[in-house]
Amino acid sequence: MTGPEGPYFYLDGCATAPLRESVMACMGKVQQESWGNPSSLHRIGCDAAESLERARLSIGESLGADRSEILFSSGATESAHLALLGLAKTESPGRLVISAVEHPAVAAAAQQLAESGWTVERWPVDADGQIEMQHLQRLLEPPTKIVSLIWGQSEVGTLQPIQAVGEACRSKHIPFHTDATQVLSQGCPNWNELPVDLLTASAHKCGGPRGIGLLLLRTEIAERIQPLLAGGQQENGLRAGTECPVLAQGMAAAFREIAPCQANQVKTSGSGIASLRDALLALLRQNAAIRVSGHPTDRLPHHLSVLVSDRHGQPMSGRALVRALDREGIAASSGSACSSGRDSDSPVLAAMGVDPRWRRSGLRLSLGHWIDPATLPEINDRIQNAIGRMNHQRV
């Protein structure tokens, strides 16, 4: 990949990651051999059904889950909606607790519940974007019936203490959901060791294909949850629609490339990616105009989020900086890829108490295995050049 003056550097892995070569090879083979409809009874359909279930078994081995606990969907957005709305269908309206820094997909599902009589309360976060644990007991008291927390925040990188919250929810028999989309791109936690009842993720953050995600759910939850899509009995009757063995095998292949990790070691996992991120940060910090946002240590290992000021100490536009970086041959993001198309204040930075003047100046750099450590100085130079050009334009 080339940019205006040499290689183009992709630093937007939190939006989507490049397809891994092993995934591409796997999907090509499956497309040739198992392209049929898994619900068909003839041999071509049976081959597709076997391929689909082998993918489910492989993902289970990667995540320490039983194949019966894995449901395929079109992506994390659908999975999150099924987790929250499907579970709420079996309950009388109560209170749903989500963090104040949820992904827009979870926030949208919560809004649907609010419109159907549920109370939605947002768990306050501190200046680093981490939930304030002093609210734990109050928020788990009745009428709370479901809790949902994003594990690794996609915009600022902060990790939430899902172990402590999950254990507290379990003690009170409150179903607990986590959006683990960004975390699973960096390490495969053991599902059986997590105090979590529902977990959602997408394949494309992990170097897998777009168009497929998963919902992990405990057996007792699977018996209660109601489908959102009707018309077929696929996925144990919880998600109608023809499954795609090619995408499922691609996701399985991507997970096989990711190392196992302990739930409390996500921030240091990723085969050295954290050290790569820290090395880039050390270079960037030579410019006093760049300051880190999000938690300084409890954060996704591949993730950098910063606020950038001009030479007068005033905030730069994150969107304008992303365009300037593109001209320098760097792909980055001004926030969550699902909302960065709008030129508005970041709800995440607002929840963290960031001054309103700075809520449009966020920049996200997310790394991956495709980045050569030897290129970090050039990446830093290009970022500094982009900031310099913007300063020059603001004379």
Active site residues: 338
Beta carbons within 10 angstroms of residue 128's beta carbon: 18
Structure tokens at 203: 């394949």
3-class DSSP string for 91-129: CCCCEEEEECCCCHHHHHHHHHHHHCCCEEEEECECCCC
DSSP labels, 241-266: S---HHHHHHHHHHHHTS-EE-GGGG
What residues have CB less than 8 Å from 206, skipping those under 6 apart?
A: 17, 184, 185, 251, 254, 255, 257, 258
Closest to 175 in 3D by CA, of 106, 123, 237, 222: 222
Closest to 208 in 3D by CA, of 242, 258, 159, 243: 258
Separation CA 77–CA 200 (nearest Å):
8
**Total residues belonging to the chain:** 395
| Orientation angle between helical segments 21-33 and 245-256, nearest 10 degrees | 150
Which of left, alpha, beta for 69 (phi over 0: left; psi -120 to 50: alpha)? alpha
Separation CA 184–CA 152 (nearest Å):
9
Separation CA 282–CA 380 (nearest Å):
10
What residues have CB less than 8 Å from 199, skipping those under 6 apart?
A: 177, 178, 180, 191, 215, 216, 217
Contact 315, 331 (CB under 8 A): no
Tell me which DSSP letter residue 296 carries.
Answer: S
Residues facing 292 on adjacent strands: 306
Contact 241, 231 (CB under 8 A): yes
Phi first, then psi, for residue 203 (nearest 5°) are -80, -30
Contact 18, 370 (CB under 8 A): yes
Structure tokens at 271: 């085969």
CA angle 172, 175, 180 (to 5 degrees): 125
